[in-house]
Chains A and B, each alone.
Chain A
Amino acid sequence: MPVLNVQGLEVFFGHGEERVQALHDVSFTIDRGEIVGLVGESGSGKTVTSLALMGLLDPRSSRIEGQAELGGTRLWDDANRRRPQVEVPMAMVFQEPMTALDPVFSIGYQLIETLRLRQGLSKARARAAALELLDAVGISDPRARLRAYPHELSGGMRQRVMIAIALACAPELLIADEPTTAVDVTIQAQLLELIRDIAADRGMSVLFVTHDLGVVAETCDRMITMYAGRIVERGPVGEVLAAPAHPYTGGLLAALPSPEHRDRRLATIPGRVPPPGERITGCVFAPRCQHRADICAEPIELGPFDDTREVRCARAHEIHATGADR
């Protein structure tokens, strides 16, 4: 029984003539305690997906279609009126902890405020819970840190505080949007370990939005590759990264530099992501794909590739058989 169930999620921005579609029929599920990576370049729709689920898209400028359920509760009703987020057990951690924290309130205030609002705790109990949470995210001397302001903390510590605040919502689902992009690698290793441990200990599900395939390989159970607002491939991380079924995932993988491939040219993906709103009838990736054929002009849906994977590519089996994209 999945914790999160997203069906046919579509997001439109703007009105009338200028309306553009940012997401196309995005459907996926996340099980309890599972970490799912959402991967793609900028403009692929991964952040729009997470914002839509969190209810953070402005209803005046955007329109959401499709359905999403968290633990059996619908995130919005048929009229697309979003419910107040406070009632839904989910939380989000953003890329830049300095802008996500309020600079004029202490860490303790922000943490206790969240605990009182989301869990209805009394002031004293919220304070005790705040200390526990700071301890759980690996902040030393939590009592002193409660009085600290965001600018007094390092980047890694701020992100730990953000995770603590997210945990204060007692979330069943944590959406982590590039949570380690702004921190250094040794700190990133600490944070990834923390997120993995918390997910395992609390049975919390995580939607992990990132552009870094290395991070996905280390952190996630399953991965979803997005391109131009569509899911193009999904499956267990190990299988997808060992032999990607979609040429786009393959291209992203081949573009990664590594010491083993020194002095060799890196594989690139020519062209660029089509802007949202561009009308495309066939495969969206076809203009940049080196395996393009006549069949790619036909519309293509996400379909099964093997027992565990799905792919949106008409030639996936052909390409895969020749191993041409490795």
Chain B
Amino acid sequence: MTSPSLFSLESVSVRFPVGRRRHVTAVDRVSLDLIEGETLGLIGESGSGKSTVARAAVGLAPVSAGTVRWRGRDVASFSGKERRRFTESVQMVFQDPHSALDPRRTILQSVREPLDVMGRGEKREREQVAVNALEDVGLSAQFLTRYPHQLSGGQKQRVNIARALVTDPKVLICDESVAALDVALQAEILNLLQDLKAEYELTVLFISHDLSVVSHVADRICVMYLGRIVEQASTPSLVGQSLHPYSEALLSAQPLVHQSSSHRRIVLSGDIPSPLSPPPGCRFSTRCPHVTEECRTTVPELVEISQGHDSACLRTADLYGVERPADREAS
């Protein structure tokens, strides 16, 4: 990786106890780098662990193994003061704009709260910062004294974004931030995020299940399946020629308004297996149309297949005509 990564996960696993000394591995040895100034898309279906990755990154979920690094330093080694600065620098916007706001607080109070918690400056200054942030997201002064129930869904999501911005973060993590909105509103919020990214010089981790949204905003995309990253590439590369059968199926399952005649639909059979008992070998092997015996037994690692394009499929040579480097060395 040439450019320095701002934020990186190194082989991070998250395990949750599920009783009787059993654990579910929600995230399994995931490594990813967030490079300053980019928008990284994280896509996957429900249960793939994409939200858990984000929560582990900011410390909202326990990291069972692996390291989270902020500007090259392990966040676990941070002192209280450093930890606080790190928390300020990474902010999150959640899916449901309504439940993310306290119904008993006014918009101004909600947006000012992170600054109150940090005890930054005078109350008057904090209020000014909050007002400015609200202005940046397109909400005028008349909204300051309103309560969440008086706002529409799109306005509430703007408030959530403003609240994430008051601490002047470096990284914004958007977890399904537009999933609950209608198309027209979704377009508005996506535009707003693009504008704010430029204005605040943000690095964005954009999590979504919607491939069309992710491919619109992201520079690079990571595809997750059952707790693991199965493919990682730049957006044009991934959308143009994906090197993993799951990404291919995901791309083809996306309902498109303008169908090209060459569009070949891959309908996967079956459901995502339970993370409690993931299949041995490749986790996608139970639904993969190209499965072989080897796939059922060998766990494929995520390796760089071609320039900047990683895949965790054992059969890239047969399916896409690009060999895995491990095979090249072995032979």
Contact = CB atoms under 8 A, between A and B. Distances in A.
Q: How large is the interface on A (under 10, 10 to 19, 20 to 34, 35 or more residues)?
A: 35 or more
B81 interface: no
A267 B191 CA distance: 9
A212 interface: yes
B184 A255 contact: yes
Interface stretch (A54-62, A184-192, A313-321): A184-192
A309 to B, nearest CB: 17
A255 to B, nearest CB: 4
Interface residues of B, number: 40
Interface of B: 45-46, 152, 154, 182-184, 186-188, 190-191, 194, 209-213, 215-217, 235-236, 239, 249-250, 252-259, 265, 267-269, 271-272
Greatest chain A CB density within 10 A among B186, B252, B271, B272 is at: B271
B219 to A, nearest CB: 9
Interface in A247-289: 251-253, 255-259, 261-262, 265-269, 272
A276 to B, nearest CB: 15
Given A156-B271, A189-B253, A258 B215 contact: yes
Contact of A257 (B182, B190, B268): B190
9 contacts: A185-B211, A188-B253, A189-B253, A189-B268, A212-B255, A256-B183, A266-B187, A268-B184, A269-B184
Contact of A255 (B154, B186, B255): B186
Contacts of A258: 212, 215-216
A252 B182 CA distance: 9
Contacts of B253: 185-186, 188-189
A4 interface: no
A154 interface: yes
B contact face: mostly helix, strand, loop, or mixed: helix
A221 to B, nearest CB: 14
Contacts of B236: 259
Interface of A: 41-42, 154-157, 184-190, 192-193, 211-215, 217-219, 241-242, 251-253, 255-259, 261-262, 265-269, 272
Contact of B256 (A42, A184, A217, A219): A217
Given A157-B271, A241-B257, A257-B212, 12 more contacts: A184-B272, A185-B209, A186-B268, A187-B45, A188-B255, A189-B253, A192-B255, A193-B267, A242-B258, A251-B184, A258-B212, A265-B194
Contacts of B46: 155, 184
A211 B186 CA distance: 12
B265 A189 contact: yes
B153 to A, nearest CB: 8
Ranked nearest first, the 8 interchain pairs of A and B with the lowest CB-CB distance are A214-B255, A257-B216, A184-B45, A266-B187, A255-B187, A259-B215, A189-B253, A41-B182
A44 to B, nearest CB: 9
A265 B195 CA distance: 10
Contacts of B269: 190
